Chain A
Amino acid sequence: MIGQFIQTFFIYNYNFTEQTAGNPTVAVMIFIAMLLTGFGVYDRLAQFAGAGSAVPVTGFGNAIISAAIEHRSEGFILGVGGNMFKLAGSVIMSGVFAAFIVGLIKTLLIQWGAL
Chain B
Amino acid sequence: MRTWEFEQQPVIVSTGTVGGPFEANGRLADDFDTLHGDLWLNEDTYEKAHKVLFEEASLRATEKAGLTKEQVDFFIGGDLINQITPTSFTAKTIGAGYFGLFGACSTSMEGLALSAFIINNGGAKCIVTGSASHNAAVEKQFRYPTEYGAQNPPTSQWTVTGAGASVVMAQGEGPVVTSATIGKVVDMGLTDPMNMGGAMAPAAVDTIETHFRDRNIDASHYDLIATGDLGHIGREVAFDLMKKHGTDIPEEKFQDCGLMIYREDQPVLAGASGAGCSAVVTYGHLLNRMKKGELRRILVVATGALLSPLTFQQGETIPCIAHAVSIEYGGGSL
Residues of chain A touching chain B, judged by Cβ–Cβ distance below 8 Å, are 37-38, 40, 42-43, 45-47, 49-51, 53-54, 59, 62-63, 65-67, 69-71, 73, 87
Contacts and interface: CB of A to CB of B under 8 A. Distances in A.
Nearest to B148: A66
A42 B44 contact: no
B145 A70 contact: yes
Interface string B134-174: 00000010001111111110000000000000000000000
Nearest to A67: B145
A65 B148 CA distance: 8
Chain B at the A interface: mostly helix, strand, loop or mixed?
Answer: loop
A87 B147 contact: no
Given A73-B44, A73-B45, A62 B147 contact: yes
B146 A43 contact: yes
Interface of B: 44-47, 140, 144-152, 267
Given A37-B147, A87-B148, 19 more contacts: A37-B149, A40-B147, A46-B151, A47-B149, A47-B152, A49-B149, A51-B151, A54-B149, A54-B151, A62-B147, A63-B148, A65-B147, A66-B148, A70-B146, A70-B147, A73-B45, A73-B47, A87-B144, A87-B145
30 contacts: A40-B147, A42-B147, A42-B149, A43-B149, A45-B149, A46-B149, A46-B150, A46-B151, A47-B149, A47-B152, A49-B149, A49-B151, A54-B149, A54-B150, A59-B149, A62-B149, A65-B147, A66-B144, A66-B145, A66-B149, A67-B145, A67-B148, A69-B147, A70-B147, A73-B44, A73-B45, A73-B46, A87-B144, A87-B145, A87-B148
Contacts of B267: 47
Contacts of B145: 66-67, 69-71, 87
Interface core residue of B45, B47, B148, B267 (most chain A CB under 10 Å): B148
A38 B148 CA distance: 10
A87 B152 CA distance: 16
A63 B146 CA distance: 10
Interface core residue of A37, A38, A42, A70 (most chain B CB under 10 Å): A70
A54 B46 CA distance: 26
B147 A43 contact: yes
A46 B148 CA distance: 9
Chain A at the B interface: mostly helix, strand, loop or mixed?
Answer: helix
B270 to A, nearest CB: 14
B164 to A, nearest CB: 26
Interface core residue of B44, B45, B47, B147 (most chain A CB under 10 Å): B147
Contact of B151 (A38, A47, A62, A67): A47
Contacts of A38: 147
Nearest to B45: A73
A50 to B, nearest CB: 4
Nearest to A48: B151
Contacts of B147: 37-38, 40, 42-43, 62, 65-66, 69-70
A63 B152 CA distance: 15
Interface core residue of B144, B151, B152 (most chain A CB under 10 Å): B151
Contacts of A51: 151
A43 B148 contact: yes
Nearest to A83: B145
A67 B48 CA distance: 19
Nearest to A58: B149
B52 to A, nearest CB: 15
Contacts of A70: 140, 145-147
Interface core residue of A51, A53, A66, A71 (most chain B CB under 10 Å): A66
A46 B149 CA distance: 5
A49 B47 CA distance: 30
A7 B145 CA distance: 31
A91 to B, nearest CB: 12
A39 to B, nearest CB: 9
